Amino acid sequence: MPLYYEDFQAGQQWELGQYQLSEESIIKFARKFDPQYFHIDPVKAKDSIYGGLVASNWQTMAIYMKLIVEGLISRSVSLGSPGIDEIRFFEPVRPGDTLQVRYMVTECRTSNSRPTVGIVHFKGEVYNQAQEPVASVAGTGFFGRKPPEDI
């Protein structure tokens, strides 16, 4: 049975996945999407404000999505997202770091305009193996409502 809107409630919390980044994967992603020198050149990166190679924030966000899709969304009747309300970046992500996500439901409400859709507000926290927060994401997801016969 997949997770419907009715299966979410404010206060729920999940600890999702683990994803380790290699230097190679950081460079590969950044060459394609974020070719700043502190993401693609380990030697020059030593002279940057980060003191070494760091991952593109957008790679951190893509990994955040991967962990949420694998751990939660793939088991749900997800109907997409209208957007993100806030992203904050804290500690940089470095080669060898292992990321996890804490996903919390902050508010649930039904859609006024679409009776088959439920709206879930959430906050996701990405943290590393030292339990340091590296990013937080607040946003909104749409989920299908449970068919009446199943309630």
Can you give the binding site for its own copies, defined by CB under 8 A?
Answer: 29, 32-36, 49, 56-58, 61-63, 65-66, 69-70, 73-74, 78-89, 139
Which is closer to its own copies, CB of 11 or CB of 48? 48
Q: In this complex, which beta carbon is closest to its own copies, that of residue 56 or of residue 100?
A: 56
| CB-count burial class (<10 Å; 0-12, 13-18, 19+) for 41 | middle
- Report the nearest approach of its own copies to the CB of residue 131 (Å): 20
CA dihedral 25, 27, 31, 36 (to 10 degrees): 140
- 70 vs 132 by CB, closer to its own copies: 70
Residue with tokens 């020198």: 37
Cβ(46)–Cβ(99) below 8 Å: no
Q: Which is nearer to its own copies, 3 or 65 (CB)?
A: 65
Quick one: tokens of 130?
């030292």
Instruction: Provide the minimum distance between the beta carbon of 16 and its own copies in the complex, in angstroms, as a whole number.
Output: 14
Least CB distance from residue 45 to its own copies, whole Å?
13
Which residue type is seen at 53? L
Tokens linked to 107? 């508010």
Nearest approach, Cβ of residue 27 and its own copies (Å): 14
Q: Evaluate whether 61 touches 135 at the Cβ level (below 8 Å).
A: yes
